[in-house]
Structure formats: C-alpha cells, structure tokens
Amino acid sequence: MSSWFWYAVAAAILYGAHQIFTRLAAERIGDGLGGFVVEASAALSILLYLAVLWFVGRWNQKFSAAGFNYSLLTGICVGAGTIAFFLLFQKGGPLSAVPAILAGGAAIMAIAGLLFFHEAPSWQRLLGITLAIAGLFLLRR
C-alpha cells in the first residue's frame, strides 16, 4: 500500500465532514460570516499543528516567494469556494450534489495534471474526467 493512502482516507473523511457541517451551518449563519468562521478556524488548526511541530522539534518548513504566492492563491480559492458552498446550500442546493461538484473539481485537477505537469494519460483517467464533467451537467435539474 502506498505511503500516502491513509492520508487520502483522512482527507476524504475530513472533507466529507466539512461539507456536511457547511450544509448544517448554511441555514444558520450568513455566507460571508460562515465562510470567515470556517477559514479562521482552519487557520487556527494549522497554527496549532505548526506549534506542535515546533515544540516537538520536527520543524521542517521551507519557504520561498513562489511557494507563498501559490499558497496565497490557494487560500483565495478555498475562501471563495467556501462562500460558494454556503450560497449553494442557502439557495436550496442539495448536499447530495457535492460529490459531483467535487468530481468536477477533480476533473479540472486531472486536466491540469495532464497539460501542465505532464502526467501520463490513460483511458481510465480520460474516462474519469469525462464522467466527472457529465456529472456536473446532470446536476442542472
């Protein structure tokens, strides 16, 4: 089994729970304020992680301007995406639509992997991309 597999399982569980809690929060808090609480608590969680690394002597955090800029863009995407999910749920979007939405994002990542990172194409990847995009179109009703 690959060394990254259990991290993938943990990420899937946490991101699944993230959307469930966003759905529950959406009817009870404004999109901007809810998004801020989500992102501020995420930042606090990461800050605590960094503190643990520092105190246990496992600090190995490199820094570069390019890394900072890409991380900044990532944060902007996450913040705007969080607000988009709040708005989706506030407008009556179903939680069951989230897997297809995330699959659409996965299709974008897969296309970027092929085009920009020169990852090897396969018929399985191309079929997955096609099905993910088709899933997004099926949500229109």
Radius of gyration, CA atoms only, the chain: 18
pLDDT tens across 3-12, in order?
998 998 898 8
Reported pTM: 0.84
pLDDT tens across 115-132, in order?
999 999 999 989 988 998
Q: In the chain, where are the structural domains located?
A: 1-93, 94-141
Average pLDDT on 68-94 reads 96
Answer whether 22's CB lies under 8 Å from 94's CB.
no
Q: Is the pLDDT of residue 1 over 90?
A: no
pLDDT tens across 18-48, in order?
999 999 999 999 999 999 999 999 999 999 9
SS (H, E, C) the chain: CCCCHHHHHHHHHHHHHHHHHHHHHHCCCCHHHHHHHHHHHHHHHHHHHHHHHHHCCCCCCCCCHHHHHHHHHHHHHHHHHHHHHHHHHHCCCCHHHHHHHHHHHHHHHHHHHHHCCCCCCCHHHHHHHHHHHHHHHHCCC
Token representation of residue 98? 């989230």
Average pLDDT on 67-94 reads 96
pLDDT for position 41: 97
pLDDT for position 99: 87
What percent of the chain stands above pLDDT 70?
A: 99
